[in-house]
Amino acid sequence: MHIRKLRLFDFKNYHEVNVVFSPYINCITGLNGSGKTNLIDAIHYLALTKSAFNTIEKENIRHGSQAFLIQSEWEIGGSAHQVVCSYQAGLPKTIRYDGKDYEKISEHIGRLPLVLVTPYDTDLIRGGSDGRRRFFDGILCQANESYLRDLIRYNHILRQRNALLKQSGGYAPDADLLKSYTDPLILLGRSIYEERRDFLESFLTEFRNYYELISENSEQVDIRYKSDGAEDLQSLFEQSLRKDIALERTTTGIHRDDFRFVMDGHAIRKYGSQGQQKSFVLALKLAQFAYLSEARETPPIILLDDIFDKLDRQRILQLMHILQGKGMGQVFITDAREERTRELLAETEFPLTFYKVENESIHEIK
């Protein structure tokens, strides 16, 4: 699976651009601010139906325009397929696959598996539990359609329950209406918890193997899953009802889960060096690649955005070596310094194609 052609209209800083990509390694170079990241964000849109960097849709429209259009041609299983993403301010976003709209946009997720690596990935360690949940949910949603459906339904019902609690203004809401939200949250919560728990068991093996390869050290790393789902959710909801009413939000449930990153028995966010944290996050991404490769029976597209400024030479070489050994598919690399990319990838076994981004356009260079 790979993307052959990409065409953008009024997307971010581009008025109109057309580009044909290599099925192997695509190196996108250009000055900072020229639009390198915007190109790979368009690919992220096509795969996951949203921007990786900006959740406000209208802010992804080129200044002065009212809509954007992303057109593409992909090779999947030896056949050509078209994927189109469009958005007009004030209207719903649309995703079309071979000319047909999805009944629900979420049905597209997982069709084009993708792994994104950015300089900000260490925020997974330093940030809050919501970022870690999104990371692991993102893997599961690309691999498992039923998990995605359950998660969407859970979050929808959670918003309804929270709205009821807020409307009640600190007083007990209608008991029957509250129960109509609480009961499905409990059922869905148990299912989501079990999926996350079972997933982590298989994910951990790959993750630990990759950390050992990257770090070349003997630290023992772990990911510890903390969830209300491990308890009796029915009892937890009953016990937290007064608190929920007082705070006007749902304080119990799998939406509060956390994945704790541990090294040698201690939180890596507190006791890990910068190098250890970078190795930890890179191992997470490589394990994501391996898990999706097996689940979708095709290597995910890999987007490496400006990582050469944050990773040392040794880790970069290890990353490329590992990916090549795991049946690497199509890769996109952005870097402001063309000569650095050429040097670091000089010994790769895969063909390299270089592109230059300048003046809101992109062209292949030798």
Would you say 209 is a known binding-site residue?
Answer: no
Is-contact 62 71, C-beta < 8 A?
Answer: no
Task: Tell me the domain boundaries of the chain.
Answer: 1-113+298-366
- For 49-77, give the DSSP string: SS-SS---GGGGBPTT-SEEEEEEEEEET
Q: Which CATH number applies to 1-113+298-366: 3.10.20.70, 3.40.50.300, 1.10.1060.10, 3.40.50.2000?
A: 3.40.50.300
pLDDT score of 326 more than 70: no
Judge whether 32 is annotated as a binding position: yes
Q: Show Cβ contacts of residue 148 under 8 Å, excluding neighbours closer than 6 positions.
A: 106, 109, 110, 140, 141
pTM of the model: 0.94
- Judge whether residue 267 has pLDDT over 90: yes
Share of the chain above pLDDT 70, in %: 100
64 has binding-site annotation: no
Q: Would the annotation count 37 as a binding residue?
A: yes
Mean pLDDT, the chain, integer: 94
Lowest mean pLDDT among 321-325, 333-337, 359-363: 321-325
Segment 221-250, tens digit of pLDDT: 999 999 999 999 999 999 999 999 999 999
Q: Residue 128 has what pLDDT?
A: 95
Q: Is 272 annotated as a binding residue?
A: no
Tokens representing 359 are: 């003046």
Q: Determine if residue 253 is labeled as part of a ligand binding site.
A: no
Say if residue 106 carries a ligand binding annotation.
Answer: no
CA distance 1 to 113: 9
- Per residue in 118-167, pLDDT (tens digit) is 989 999 999 999 999 999 999 999 999 999 999 999 999 999 999 999 99
What would the two tokens of residue 266 be? 């201690």
Q: How far apart are CA 101 and CA 87, in angstroms?
A: 13
Q: What is the pLDDT of residues 51-95, one digit of tens each?
A: 999 989 999 999 999 999 999 999 998 999 999 999 999 999 999
- Please write the tens of the pLDDT for every residue from 170-202: 999 999 999 999 999 999 999 999 999 999 999
33 assigned to a ligand binding site: yes
> Cα(67)–Cα(11) distance, rounded to whole angstroms?
8
